[in-house]
Chain A
C-alpha cells in the first residue's frame, strides 16, 4: 500500500514564485492535514480538512491556501513564496474525528525559498 504520497520530494523556489504541494492518500481516510517542520519547533499545523468539502486553519496558516480536491487529495499552495517558508512540509491523514487511530504521514517535501 502506498499510504500517503507527497509530491514533489524536493523543490527550490525563488522569492515571489508560487507552487502547489500535492498530497494523496489511498486509505479512505476522512481527515487530512498539512504541517511544517522547522528545527527545534516540532510540527506546526498549517491547515487541515476534517472531511471532504471542509477546510480549517491551523496554527500557522498565513501565506498558504489549501484545496480538498476530493476525498483522496489535499493540496497546499504557496501564492508568493517567502524565505520564511523554507521548511519541510508533511501531509498526514487519519480516519477522522471519533476514531482513535494515529495519523499516517507522507515522506515530506523539502522546500527551499531563495
Chain B
C-alpha cells in the first residue's frame, strides 16, 4: 500500500519567517502534486513536479522533488497571513492519486 506522509501536521509561524513542509512517499512515482485548501473550501492545485530535481516557484512558495529519496519539499519564504491554509501533497500511481494527511499552516502577525 502506498503511503504518503507529511510533516509537520500543524505549523504555526510568524510573519516574515521561513519554513519547509516535507512530503515523503513509499513507492516509486515520478510525479508529485501540491494542493492548497482554505477552510471550508475545495482544493486548488499549486504545483506539478514531473521529474527528479524539478523545482517550481510561485510567489513565496517553492516546491522541489527528489525522486531517489522519495521526498518533496514545499518551502515558504517570508510568510504572510494570506498563506494560512492546509497544504497537501499527492503522488500518482497509474491513475490513482494518494494524498498526504495535510499540513495546517497558520501565519501569525
Contact = CB atoms under 8 A, between A and B. Distances in A.
Are these two chains actual partners, yes or no?
A: yes
Interface of A: 31, 33, 35, 40-45, 48, 50, 58, 90, 92, 96-97, 100-108
Contact residue range for chain B? 20 to 34
Overall SS of chain B's interface: strand
A100 B48 CA distance: 8
24 contacts: A35-B99, A40-B101, A42-B88, A42-B101, A43-B88, A43-B99, A44-B99, A45-B96, A45-B98, A48-B95, A48-B96, A90-B42, A90-B43, A92-B43, A97-B94, A97-B95, A100-B31, A100-B48, A103-B45, A104-B45, A105-B42, A105-B44, A107-B42, A108-B42
B41 to A, nearest CB: 7
Nearest to A49: B95
A33 to B, nearest CB: 7
Interface string B1-23: 00010000100000000000000
A11 B17 CA distance: 41
